[in-house]
A and B are shown apart, each in its own frame.
Chain A
Amino acid sequence: MLNRRQFSAAVGVCAILVMSGAARADDIYIPLISKGFQHQFWQAVKAGAEQAAKEGNAKISFEGPETEAMVDKQIDMLSADLAKHPNAIGFAALDSKAAIPLLKKAQAEHIPVIAFDSGVDSDIPLTTCTTDNLAAAGLAADKMAEMIGDAGEVAVIVHDQTSRTGIDRRDGFLNEMKAKHPNVKIVSVQYGAGDHLKSAEIAKAMIQANPNLKGIFGANEGSAEGAAIGVKESGKKLVLIGYDSGKEQKEAIISGAMAGAITQNPVGIGKCVVESALKALKGEKLPKVIDTGFYWYDKSNITDPKVAAVLYD
């Protein structure tokens, strides 16, 4: 059966588990199930949630699937977290409809559900902590138009065509251009899965195909940073506008390779989820949507404390 070596290995694994710590039962426990965990954006949400949890004497856990396509893995996470009978739950649905049976279960057990980021398409969540992506991408369009003299060709690189944030940021940008800047022509909208390399290749191909291109909008961290790489490799000079934050993006803005970017307030989103959950547990009423805000940042205000507070590496 188990020989000594295998046994000691098993003991080692158990030791790792114990060291990494189990949940204590006495605190208020609020698990957050997000849409991912590796991206800096989600780490910032997590940091915000942890901050608010510390202030409110609560304990949180933070989990999300490896890619935003893994709807079933996210449902498994929600199911496991519900089994722990938490006091409240924070949830950013990849696909709202798939999660409804479990959310109903949470409702039946009187566990308050707080939605965040792209939210949950249902009445069950007490509130949603989110960024108005349509308006934020609209602001990016205004800035782009301003910088290219309100006329010329522009291209857009989006992370994907199925997620709420992808659709809203694309449409927010396109609609604003159409409505307010009729002389700006969108020549291409392409999708790079938020992958740096893919987005860089897309940017290069766009520049190749449209020699008069004046600007590119990258709709998330990976798209924007990838676009910056593509523009640099092509040797052309054009106006690049990004979305979200991240070390590379910040450096690109400081160096002038990127004109500026929209940032959400991920730390604020995380705080909002935990604070709302704690309020709900005290029986306070919550508004249906809490806008956690967005900011335009560029070289001139990147060190401004108000802006620097919502940026992350």
Chain B
Amino acid sequence: MTMRSEALTMTKDGRLSAMKARFFGPTARQKLLAFASLVLLLIFFSFASPVFMQIDNILGILQSTAVNGVLAIACTFVIITGGIDLSVGTLMTFCAVMAGVFLTYWELPMWIGVVAAIATGALSGVVSGTLIAKMKIPPFIATLGMMMLLKGLSLVVSGTRPIYFNNTENFPMISQDSLIGLALPNLPIPNAVLILFALAALASVVLNRTALGRYTFALGSNEEAVRLSGVNVDRWKIAIYGLGGSICGVAGLLIASRLNSAQPALGQGYELEAIAAVVIGGTSLSGGAGTILGTIIGAFIMSVLTNGLRILSVAQEWQTVVTGVIIILAVYADILRRRKV
């Protein structure tokens, strides 16, 4: 007990320097770099094509960022602990399928479907966390196993067919409708984007202002030191994976609402895009450093790039090449920054 409070006081003392680090430290520099790249991309594409900056296209970019952005937030927590979660994509799908089971098969009210999707995510995250913390299975393997398991379960539960949300009239509202559009009819930003930003703000608070957030960083910096100072490392780890899982539940709702269906075969490959967004945003794969804002910028870099190349009608093979180059550059920039420190 005393040891724990000591650890907490130490963090408090360190808050001033932490503030400094936030604005001038290496993470901030990487964030600036990511932000500058995003601005450069935006400028480049708006000069290259007159349609890029049109409101319809901007709305399209925002909409297409929502799901990857939310998944990337889930990954950010886990990656800061020095772990990895490969199951986020298929977990998202499984949560969507469970929402379908509750809403379409059992015809329950919409809020129950929403709760069910998030609870499914949290539960699955807790399972992953337990595999990693208690059974000592390396995160890569544990979540790889979960990725396949959940992919299979989605197909089993849905009977390999998409589940349509035709009985739940308001379901498309979650993602497709626009609350902002009611006030500003010319700017119908889809709700999915509001949910992304609200979730990002919330996640940022959790990461920077709560014990859970502090332990997320601490586990990634030096897990052994945290353990030696008397903290129940296993419990916090399970909680962090559980949090990541519940965020995947939100992603599941967003994609299901957008497609007005739970597509059971979808999801694999989405984890790598989410991890790419996290890494571009300056979160270190070796753990201990990272920000939600960086991740969101990373997610936007990915979607702006994809959309912009599409608008320019760049051949699809080349689009993939360019995206790969950007990811490598982002990680290289991270390494350069580290060398300087």
Residues of A within 8 A of B (CB): 1-3, 6, 9-10, 13-14, 16-18, 20-23, 31, 37, 61-64, 66-72, 75-77, 79-85, 95, 97-98, 101, 160-162
> With A6-B329, A63-B316 in contact, do A77 and B33 touch (Cβ < 8 Å)?
no
Contact among B164, B260, B266, B314 with A20 in the assembled complex (CB-CB below 8 Å): B314
Which residues of B have CB within 8 Å of A61?
A: 313
A75 touches B258 (CB 8 A): yes
> With A79-B60, A82-B56 in contact, do A17 and B312 touch (Cβ < 8 Å)?
yes
- From A78, which residue of chain B is reached at the shortest CB distance? B60
Q: How far is the CA of A75 from the CA of B190 in the complex (A)?
A: 15
Q: How far is the CA of A123 from the CA of B264 in the complex (A)?
A: 26
B311 touches A80 (CB 8 A): yes
- From A98, which residue of chain B is reached at the shortest CB distance? B259
- From B40, which residue of chain A is reached at the shortest CB distance? A10
Contact among A9, A66, A160 with B329 in the assembled complex (CB-CB below 8 Å): A9
A71 touches B266 (CB 8 A): yes
Q: How far is the CA of A70 from the CA of B336 in the complex (A)?
A: 35
Q: How far is the CA of A161 from the CA of B314 in the complex (A)?
A: 33
Which residues of B have CB within 8 Å of A79?
A: 60, 63-64
B158-201 CB mask vs A (1 if < 8 Å, else 0) is: 00111010000000000010000000000000000000000000
Residues of B within 8 A of A (CB): 32-33, 36-37, 40, 44, 48-49, 51, 54, 56-57, 60, 63-64, 67, 160-162, 164, 176, 255, 258-261, 263-269, 306-307, 309-316, 318, 321-322, 325-326, 329, 333, 336
B313 touches A77 (CB 8 A): no
Q: How far is the CA of A82 from the CA of B261 in the complex (A)?
A: 23
Q: Give min CB distance, A53 to chain B, whole Å.
A: 13
Which residues of B have CB within 8 Å of A70?
A: 266, 269
Which DSSP category, helix, strand, loop or mixed, fits chain B's interface?
helix
Q: How far is the CA of A256 from the CA of B303 in the complex (A)?
A: 48
Q: Give min CB distance, B190 to chain A, whole Å.
A: 11
Q: How far is the CA of A13 from the CA of B37 in the complex (A)?
A: 12
- From A191, which residue of chain B is reached at the shortest CB distance? B160
Which residues of A have CB within 8 Å of B312?
A: 17, 20-23
A-B residue pairs in contact (CB < 8 Å), sample of 7: A6-B33, A17-B48, A17-B314, A83-B54, A95-B259, A97-B164, A97-B260
Most B Cβ at <10 Å: residue of A22, A77, A84: A84
B310 touches A63 (CB 8 A): yes
> With A20-B315, A75-B258 in contact, do A69 and B265 touch (Cβ < 8 Å)?
yes
A72 touches B306 (CB 8 A): no
Q: Give min CB distance, B192 to chain A, whole Å.
A: 11
A71 touches B263 (CB 8 A): yes
Q: How far is the CA of A22 from the CA of B37 in the complex (A)?
A: 21
Q: How far is the CA of A72 from the CA of B267 in the complex (A)?
A: 10
Closest 6 CB pairs of A and B: A83-B57, A69-B265, A79-B60, A98-B259, A80-B310, A76-B64
- From B54, which residue of chain A is reached at the shortest CB distance? A83
A83 touches B322 (CB 8 A): no
Q: How far is the CA of A63 from the CA of B49 in the complex (A)?
A: 19
B259 touches A17 (CB 8 A): no
Q: How far is the CA of A195 from the CA of B325 in the complex (A)?
A: 28
- From A14, which residue of chain B is reached at the shortest CB distance? B44
B268 touches A22 (CB 8 A): no
Which residues of A have CB within 8 Å of B269?
A: 66-67, 70
> With A23-B313, A67-B269, A76-B60 in contact, do A84 and B259 touch (Cβ < 8 Å)?
no
Contact among A67, A69, A80, A162 with B60 in the assembled complex (CB-CB below 8 Å): A80
Q: How far is the CA of A75 from the CA of B307 in the complex (A)?
A: 12
Which residues of A have CB within 8 Å of B307?
A: 76, 80
A85 touches B162 (CB 8 A): no
Which residues of B have CB within 8 Å of A68?
A: 265
B265 touches A84 (CB 8 A): no
